[in-house]
Amino acid sequence: MSEYSDRIRKEFGEGDAIRDANFTTPDEIERFDDIRYGADDEYNLLDVYRPKALAGKKLPVIMNIHGGAWVYGDKGVYQFYMMDLAKRGFAAVNFSYRLAPERKFPAQIEDICAVFRWIEDNVDRYGLDTGNIFAVGDSAGAHLLGLFAGLYSDPYCMKVLKEKYPSAEFSIHSRENSPGTLKAVALNCGKYDLAMGDEADTDTPVLLKDFMSEGGSPEEISIADVTRYVTPSYPQVFLMTCPGDFLKYQAPFMADVLLANSVPFIYRVYGSAKDPLHHVFHCNPSLESAKVCNDDECAFFKSLSHTP
């Protein structure tokens, strides 16, 4: 592991611990913890959070792909954010995935696919409406979610990934007759084109050496370019950034790609010059700005939900 990735784990972990110190599980939330969805004992675990008031009802699903520069994070540091989303009437699926550099790309995409299959297989046990599956991802998690949305919607993406990584497991659906539907995604403060950078985003090349098996070769970077797989079949998108987001230059570029491919999307920039907010501000439920953003994203998801 690079010294920089090691520092990320330390500094991000300390910051998240401070943020979460005063949070507890809300009284109105029922939680199911540490459910295995894959073979890895440490990372292939997920939680499900549901509003107690809606017990017995099948709810639209929000799955979370956490951020952390591909080298940090797990479901523990996203639990309070995801329980906050669940309070808005969703079944929230919050999972850990295998991290780089111990597990190189595309292990992370394999894990996202496995979680999607798990959702399809656990409809009744956890009250999951697989006709209305949504997903949120932030920072590096938005990159991974953007790729998964391409894998879900574009056969060319599946072809490219399988040719490059023939032993990887990219199957998305476990049910041929009633597969789950990824209706929309929220891409928050994300990185979409790995080759694009600016003066505030100088560390990506260092991280790619840890993230990718070939150290971030031009071929790998091209293969992992989210924008390469955006087609008119791409799920609808809520795209978000803020002035204090060091990746804010990526959002308008992604918006242009969505527009060029006629993908319905909402593009929001939260904050202002006086209150620029910060990268992934929305993950802190105590912030008023996070409440506004998360209300907007959940309202967007609900507007697309349809229960027969």
Task: Report the CATH number at residue 125.
Answer: 3.40.50.1820
User: Can you read off the two tokens belonging to residue 131?
Assistant: 């006709």
The CA-based diameter of the chain, rounded to the nearest angstrom, is 52
For 240, the enclosing helix (H) or strand (E) is strand 236-241
What average pLDDT does range 129-146 have in this prediction?
A: 98
The pair of three-digit structure tokens given for residue 115, joined into one six-digit string: 């979680």
DSSP 37: -
What distance in Å separates the CA atoms of residue 117 and residue 176, rounded to the nearest whole number? 11
Question: How far apart are the two ends of the chain, measured CA to CA in Å?
Answer: 49
Number of separate domains in the chain? 1
Give yes or no for residue 200 having a pLDDT over 80.
no
In this predicted structure, the answer to whether residue 308 has a pLDDT above a threshold of 70 is no
What is the domain extent for residue 153?
3-304
* Digit-coded pLDDT (tens) for 246-291: 999 999 999 999 999 999 999 999 999 999 999 999 999 999 999 9
